[in-house]
Structure 1
Amino acid sequence: SNDVWGTPVVAGDLLYVTSFEVHALDVGNGRRQFKTRDVAWVMAVEGGRIHASDGPSLYALDAATGAERWRLQTDAWVYSLKADRGTVVTGTRGGGVQAWEASTGEKLWESSGVQTDFETAEAGPAIHDGTVYLWQDARLRAVDARTGVERWSYPIGDAASCGGVPVRVTPAPDGFVYVSAGARVLAVDNVSGHVRWHFESPAVFLCPPAFAPGPAVTGGGVYLADYLGTVYAIDAATGKDRWRIATEARQSIEPVLVTAGNVHVGSGSALYTLDAVTGTPKWRFAAGGEVVGAPVVADGRVHFGSADHVLYTLDAAGGQLRWKLATGGEITGSPVARGGVVYACSKDRCVYALDALKGTGTGNRPRT
């Protein structure tokens, strides 16, 4: 009955969406299996649990049944929540960060002095593979997720020296953390904290870097777009830009999508696809409103939503429109594609599950 917002989460046979409460829907038929009694401003599904916060409290539910596992009061309003490998990390208003044991809610550690300029879910503390990344006291700090012990720190600067935009981090499988900080991009060794290189652009980056593995000749590297819409391909080993291509002004905080040798980027009201190796534009598709969230590619198709209330599906190689669905409201978050189905939320208070090939309703589908 309330607005549905954000990106749906698919885990096992259930799809989770936030609509003030968390709703768990059967992926096969859309029937609601349960909903929470509490508001969930932030949510993460991990390890068979739903971790969520209504602001002043933090709670965990069984992801299959909705049964409460634990609940606690926090010292300040929770604005960000991430969960990874049995640890829940929260950012609270006033510069606080806390780590919790996911199974019990036991507090593992807490810290203060984290930046307070950007108290949003995407600008909060990040956790990846046992490390938490904090923007604290004008430094980027990497700490052990279980103990809070510092592994390294780097003087990244305060909000003013970072262009008045949040610092964003992308831990990558090559052992480096790629950081966007204002108009700078840095490659930081995840073990030692040594800065391998840094790159400067004329304009600030609102989105985190995207990393594609492999050599540059096959499209490997670091990719991101600044707020003017210029897309950069940076050599991951040297920090030199291989190419830069102008699109159009971009307010999105979502990273560009690099897959199958292509870079897909929503800029303004258009989706652009560039060759990852050369930067050569392949196609541009104009939607009827601002591109919302991040595109998703599956089975040779690219799906994305727009502020014009429409969910679009294009051929990923050529950009031809395959189908589109007009909903009763602006698409929220990013679509999710799994098992031949694309899931999306709209401000018309509906969740959509559509056949990814045809764009038709899925009806009652067997669980996959």
Structure 2
Amino acid sequence: MKKHLIFCIILLNLIFNPSAFSQEKTTINNAFTDRVFDGQGYQPVTNLKWKYQTNGKIFSSPTAKNGTVYIGSEDGYLYAIEEKSGKTKWKFKTNGAIHSTPGIYKNAVFFGSFDGNYYAVNTQNGKLIWKFKTGGEHWLGEKGRFEMKPATQYMDDLWSFYLSSPVVYEKEKKAVVLFGSSDGNIYSLDAKTGDLKWKFKTNEPVHGTPVIDQNRIYIGGWDAVLYALNIETGKEVWRFATGTKPGFKGIQSAVAVADGKVYFGAREPYFFALEAETGKLIWKYDAESSWFLSTAVIQDNTVYVGTSDTYALLALDAKTGAEKYRYKTNGYVYASPAIAGNTVYFGDFTGNFFSLDLLSNGKKSKIIPTENRKQLASSTLKNDLLDFSYAGRNTDLSLYDNCKKVMDDFYKLGAIVSSPYISNNTVYFGSADGYLYAYNLEEEK
């Protein structure tokens, strides 16, 4: 099938009708959104180093530092895991699922929970440093979402996977933590104490992750607007509005900033390049009715980003937006890719993890499936491809509960919406099967 629209009601209509940026005296932690790492040549994934089981699905992305990997789980824990052994160093319990990616600064790890708090925890012992209560964290949702039935039932958006991930900005020995919230605010907190420095109000929940470049923060939310704010004051510099057509509204991804341009995708099925100084549109790429949840990475004048319904990793010309090539996968590519040397790593919603040679124009790759995918693919996928109508066969997909069951079946495959992180010749990623995976990379010959 040429494409699969991601939400059930439109599908029925078709059927039946995150690096470090630095400058003098300033340090910025953007580890969640700039995933370009040192490396050489083509280094595909080889053997499994270890896997670590949590008691919930993993939507959070891993972060590693000083021999420890940090990741959150739907079971409400933030885990600190030894890189070498895969053994628990410590775990910290919250009262809600953790879908944000942890950020690290000095001896603290920062993250948000669906219990309505953002936390700072000591990286060495897992003890609480501070917590900040927002106005509440939740999945996007409404009654009768996407016109699914029954119209009176409250429905979580089945593809609202993430909470905003905190990033740290330091200047002149003072540091702040910045993140968005489901309460519609963008917050700046003192990194040491958790005290509020400023907040900026948007019109809807903000689940995107902020990206900092020089003296600005760039972040988008469910009001479908990308904001450029002054990082010191929280004052708006400019805004860029994307489309608000039902089913195609909202910004879930973070931006990538390079060469004076801001790059990002949205649920409006376009990928955008803007002037960083003014917010003026330079070009946009038509994604063929496909959402962008993936955050782009940029290398050698090429933008790499995943798509939802066209099941692809795109390679776009950073200057013009022209498509250089696309690498077809087996399902939605929601996770953000990571690059090391000449290899890009990413997963898809069917539980496949890919190592693609960037010099092959999409021709050379290695694929590692999760164990669940090996067992369940034949019964869940159609010709090894994700197909919503096939998975939901013999059910009424206009009913929300039936759509949710199909999504649960996809999760059982080991769907990958967690973005990979590379450290010490190992790639780490989480899966909806509840595991954090650590795979060795092939040594350069």
TM-score (norm 2): 0.59
Deviates more, 1:79-88 or 1:41-50: 41-50
Counterpart amino acid of 1:46? K
* Match of residue 17 from structure 2: none
Which of 250, 253, 272 is equivalent to 1:208? 253
What SS does the aligned partner of 2:335 have?
Answer: strand
Checking the alignment, whether the CA contact within 8 Å between 2:69 and 2:83 is kept in structure 1 is yes
Q: Does the CA contact (< 8 Å) of 1:59 and 1:71 recur in 2?
A: yes
Instruction: Note the residue ranges of structure 1 that are not aligned, 5 or more in a row.
Output: 1-8, 12-26, 160-165, 215-219, 356-361
- Whole-Å Cα distance in 2 between the matches of residues 338 and 61 of structure 1? 13
8 Å contact 1:302–1:314 — kept in the other structure? yes
Q: Find the residue that maps to 2:193 and give its secondary structure.
A: coil
Matched ranges for 1:116-265 at <5 A: 116-118=137-139, 122-129=162-169, 130=175, 131-135=177-181, 137-159=183-205, 166-181=206-221, 182-203=223-244, 204-214=249-259, 220-265=260-305
Q: 2:211–2:254: 8 Å Cα contact kept in structure 1?
A: no
For residues 128-147 of structure 1, what are the alpha-carbon distances to aligned partners after superposition, in whole Å with 9 as ceiling and x for unaligned?
24414242753212111211
Q: Kindly state the Cα deviation for residue 66 of structure 1 after the two structures are TM-superposed.
A: 6.7
1:277, CA displacement in angstroms?
1.0
- Residues 79 and 121 of structure 1 are in contact (CA less than 8 Å); yes or no, is this contact kept in structure 2? no
TM-align CA RMSD: 4.1
Alignment partner of 1:275 is 2:281: no
* Contact 1:210-1:258 within 8 A present in 2 as well: no
Q: Which has the higher contact order (CA 8 A, sep 6+)?
A: 2
TM-score where L is the length of structure 1:
0.69
Query: Within 2, Cα distance between the matches of 1:52 and 1:352?
Result: 12
2:180–2:210 CA contact under 8 A, matched in 1: no
Which secondary structure does the structure 1 equivalent of 2:179 belong to? strand
Inter-partner Cα distance in structure 2 for 1:73 and 1:285: 39
Gaps of 5+ in 2: 1-34, 38-44, 141-159, 170-174, 378-412
Q: 1:132·1:145 contact (CA, 8 Å) conserved in 2?
A: no
Q: 1:45: Cα distance to partner?
A: 3.8
The whole-number CA distance in structure 2 between the counterparts of 1:350 and 1:104 is 20
Pairwise CA distance, 1:77: 2.9
Aligned residues of 1:274 and 1:283 also touching (Cα < 8 A) = yes
Q: By how many angstroms is 1:336 displaced?
A: 5.5
- Quote the residue 2:122 is aligned against: 101
Q: In structure 1, the residue corresponding to 2:162 is in which secondary structure?
A: helix
Q: Secondary structure of the residue that 1:293 maps to in structure 2?
A: coil
Structure 1 residue 44 displacement after superposition: 4.9
Structure 1 or 2: more helix by fraction: 2
Offset of residue 49 of structure 1? 3.9
Taking a change above 3 Å as real, the CA distance of residues 56 and 236 of structure 1, as seen in their structure-2 partners, is closer
Deviation for aligned residue 1:233: 0.1
Aligned partner of 1:91 in structure 2 is 112
Aligned length: 321
Q: Secondary structure at the match of 1:168?
A: coil
Q: 1:201 to 1:84 in 2, by over 3 A?
A: same
CA-CA distance at 1:30 after TM superposition: 4.4
